[in-house]
Chain A
């Protein structure tokens, strides 16, 4: 059988130290070398900048909202502006930030390297996906400037077909963003199936890739339905189709079915990649082989598929028939199983591990705490009888912020700090990184925990005004939002500082065993200077610290000494 892989003797691949070719950041320069690049790493970087800008915009909206809610009645903006702010906050955060964030930025950068390939399967389509994102963002900004949007991010009919705000611009923007998301997902599925390096069997794929793969399944299956839904909404509004209009014998509840057929699975588009990141972080910084690899991998796919069966739980109080509500409520509980499988496997990975509290791990621990709260309160809301009083209260707001922000955003930050040295070749200030994670964690809880209490006491979401009894909790929440903003600003400052002053990153500063840490930091244009070969991505015991480079190296001798698990 086999002879060899040209340059690397032995069965395990060594990083090849002498770097002859320039890294991907320096291989070419100038505006067009970025604007027309087909390199997945540069596209990932452009996505990263884009989604961070969108996040900043959505974040400013959030701070305005929280400031407005500091006192009952008018504080800084009018009620109309308040409606527009919460709509745009939701729409920008969901469509422009969370959905593309991890797959578009980190996924694009990391997945092909993790698989040991030169690029994604369809590089042109990858670039098109980024520009579609830009196009969608332009439509959103256009909607903001030409009459705003006050429907809520869900665009429910009949309000969305009658309001005078720029619904068509915003929905068309979301339609375009949908295609961006489909392109990304399609690309990843094909890449995972056809582009893996030799030896990279299905069960040597890192769990982050499994998570992105599961996400891609949802993107491909669910997003087209959003596309047609939004087209129908546009037609309904512009031409008067009558399908969602009760006066014409149509049914507004049908719109909600259409919308949530996409948008519930979309919740898993948001959280699954985050879970993938956490799998990488927990294993790496506990210095232990991931526990229950296949369980985590299959639970990702399981979540993706189960996510399609539960959309009706958004419609318990909006005219859905009681029989369907009961069915959807029952199905909703099933989602808890794969989620819990993951959490327990992460805990088991940490058990007796050598945990290092590096910045990414701090974020990962915050994720575990916040996601668990978010997930468990989701069970409250999935219970039909409990949801009826809690529906459309701050309890729901707190729940999905614990999942989406406490889950996805925190994991995204953890992922950025984890892969930052690989992306930029620079190390950041560890201390301030840790400080940022602690402030974000405290600020987050201060913002959203009071909202659970507000919700159970009956404070409805999306309200401009409230009774004075709620003020103290609202003040806590607003102060928390400022603290959170401060924490995020510090995190950003740490990253920017590292670009200017950071010391050069070694190839493998964390001792991770996945392929992207075996190539140089930053990687060359085609990712590897050698032929990569797939092997166990969590064999951390094979990594040996080398003080001379302040990083880790692979030592095949260790593989023989230590047990695999």
Chain B
């Protein structure tokens, strides 16, 4: 058995190479260097440690990357708290909470998947990864509804809804600006939901056709006895089915929740008192609209008409906003909202790609107790994405 001179006469020896110690056991039956260990590493453990340190450093860069947005949020909120008090009520906190739960569950399945990989449980790992993908798709499905709804109401980032001179006559499909729409909030939920569902149905159809690819790979791989092709097919199949099921579930969740849980109507209500309890829901939108008409003089109504017609001047708009106690620049809330959640969603998609890759390798039975690093690393990344959402949820949906 070969060990390494560690030159202890100099006092401080470095990390001794453990390569030969391990190989002396010949434990893998792969000879000198098992093929799951890259050529420049001596042992599986060295490879694992390097990967682990690498992924932690990568997470550090992610933390600092997102920190910029948290700083922007903090600064803007400190200077203009009224915007956040006012605008956060356009977000549905119950949808947010459900999405938080979904992500937490995906974290659980991911952690469980790491456990399975460590124990070399092939199908356990495959199931866990499939479930994680499913959750990711549910999350994105619900998010799609949220975005689509805001898009319908033109609750977009500042640049797209307060282009000052054009206020009131937004270029987007001739729709009036959100300034106006949010006061007549009877915007038709049924039509909106129908449209989003149609869009998602279309996406589902697309996915269905995408499904053909792994199916073909699986069959060809099976016939030709080409193992890795078959594994890729099976992995892809599971991934796509998980994603499709996730989108469907997102649809169902939205169905169950949206008509009752919507809080948008309250806005008009809360305007009078910024600290009013936002949870008071239940009144229908039309009720609120009449409520508004009663308690606001005609002045605002006239301006509103002008706004809709696109004739209002900037000063009139500001006067309107002041009369309604709408804080100036409240659209910046949506700038921050879209930026933060959009970047987060982008990370979810990146994670889904990585998990699909793992799924294929898991089907191919590549992971075992000495080589489970990739599952662990993607898992850590996935938990970080979850962590960021854990903070985004209260910051955007809850705090007022």
Contact = CB atoms under 8 A, between A and B. Distances in A.
B160 A220 contact: no
B2 to A, nearest CB: 7
Nearest to A191: B50
Contacts of A231: 343
Interface string B76-94: 1001100100000000000
Interface in A146-181: none
Contacts of B144: none
Nearest to B336: A243
A228 B60 CA distance: 14
Interface stretch (A119-127, A206-214, A365-373): A119-127
Interface string B154-166: 0001111011000
A190 to B, nearest CB: 5
A121 B7 CA distance: 24
Interface in B1-56: 2-10, 12-17, 38-40, 46, 49-50, 53-54
Contacts of B132: none
Interface stretch (B64-72, B200-208, B220-228, B315-323): B64-72
A389 interface: no
A535 B8 CA distance: 11
A249 B329 contact: yes
Q: Interface size bucket, A side?
A: 35 or more
A8 to B, nearest CB: 9
Interface stretch (A196-204, A313-321, A405-413, A447-455): A196-204
B160 A194 contact: no
A544 B66 CA distance: 54
Contact of B50 (A194, A202, A229, A248): A194
Given A221-B64, A251-B79, A123 B53 contact: no
Interface stretch (A67-75, A233-241, A277-285): A233-241
Contact of A197 (B14, B62, B65, B332): B14
A73 to B, nearest CB: 39
Given A5-B4, A203-B12, A228 B79 contact: no
Contacts of B309: none
Contacts of A195: 40, 46, 50
A445 interface: no
Contact of B65 (A6, A228, A534): A228
A486 B8 CA distance: 52
A229 B68 contact: yes
Contact of A243 (B4, B40, B62, B72): B72
Contacts of A182: 61
B61 A199 contact: no
Nearest to B54: A190
A242 B331 contact: yes
B76 A249 contact: yes
Contacts of A1: 3, 6, 8
Interface in B196-214: none
B339 interface: yes
Contacts of A4: 5
Contact of A251 (B6, B8, B75): B75
A123 B69 CA distance: 32
A509 interface: no
A193 interface: yes
A194 B14 CA distance: 10
Contact of A186 (B57, B76, B162, B163): B57
Contacts of B184: none
B44 to A, nearest CB: 13
Interface string A457-497: 00000000000000000000000000000000000000000
B332 A186 contact: no
A240 B157 contact: yes
A196 B60 CA distance: 23
Given A242-B335, A250-B332, A123 B40 contact: yes
A3 interface: yes
A222 B66 CA distance: 12
Nearest to A241: B335
A232 B4 contact: no
A453 B58 CA distance: 45
B5 A220 contact: no
A186 B343 CA distance: 22
Given A117-B40, A249-B76, A536-B10, A242 B158 contact: yes
B14 A204 contact: yes
Interface string A256-272: 01100000000000000
B305 interface: no
A182 B65 CA distance: 12
A533 interface: yes
Interface string A108-126: 0000000001111111000
Interface residues of B, number: 56
Interface in B294-345: 328-329, 331-332, 335-336, 339, 343
A522 interface: no
Contacts of A204: 10, 12, 14
A242 B53 contact: no
B64 A239 contact: no
Given A228-B65, A229-B68, A243-B76, A194 B49 contact: yes
Contacts of B339: 232, 235, 241
Nearest to B161: A240
Contact of B53 (A190, A203, A232, A535): A190
Contacts of A241: 157-159, 332, 335-336, 339
A249 B14 contact: no
A50 interface: no
The interface centre, meaning the residue of A5, A120, A122, A250 with most chain B CB atoms within 10 A of its CB, is A250
B5 A5 contact: yes
Interface string A9-25: 00100000000000000
A248 to B, nearest CB: 5
B393 to A, nearest CB: 20
B10 A3 contact: no
A248 B83 CA distance: 11
A224 B61 contact: yes
Contact of B158 (A190, A240, A251, A534): A240
A207 to B, nearest CB: 16
The interface centre, meaning the residue of B50, B66, B69 with most chain A CB atoms within 10 A of its CB, is B50
Contacts of A187: 54
Nearest to A255: B72
A202 B12 contact: yes
Given A5-B4, A242-B329, A249 B80 contact: yes
Interface of B: 2-10, 12-17, 38-40, 46, 49-50, 53-54, 57-58, 60-69, 71-72, 75-76, 79-80, 83, 157-160, 162-163, 328-329, 331-332, 335-336, 339, 343
19 contacts: A11-B9, A189-B53, A194-B50, A198-B15, A198-B17, A202-B12, A203-B12, A204-B10, A221-B61, A224-B64, A225-B64, A225-B68, A228-B68, A232-B339, A235-B339, A248-B162, A249-B83, A250-B76, A534-B14
| 9 A-B pairs with the lowest CB-CB distances in the bound complex, closest first | A240-B159, A228-B68, A224-B65, A201-B14, A242-B158, A224-B64, A241-B335, A119-B40, A118-B40
Given A194-B46, A235-B339, 13 more contacts: A1-B8, A6-B2, A11-B5, A198-B5, A198-B17, A220-B60, A224-B62, A224-B65, A243-B335, A258-B71, A533-B5, A534-B14, A535-B10
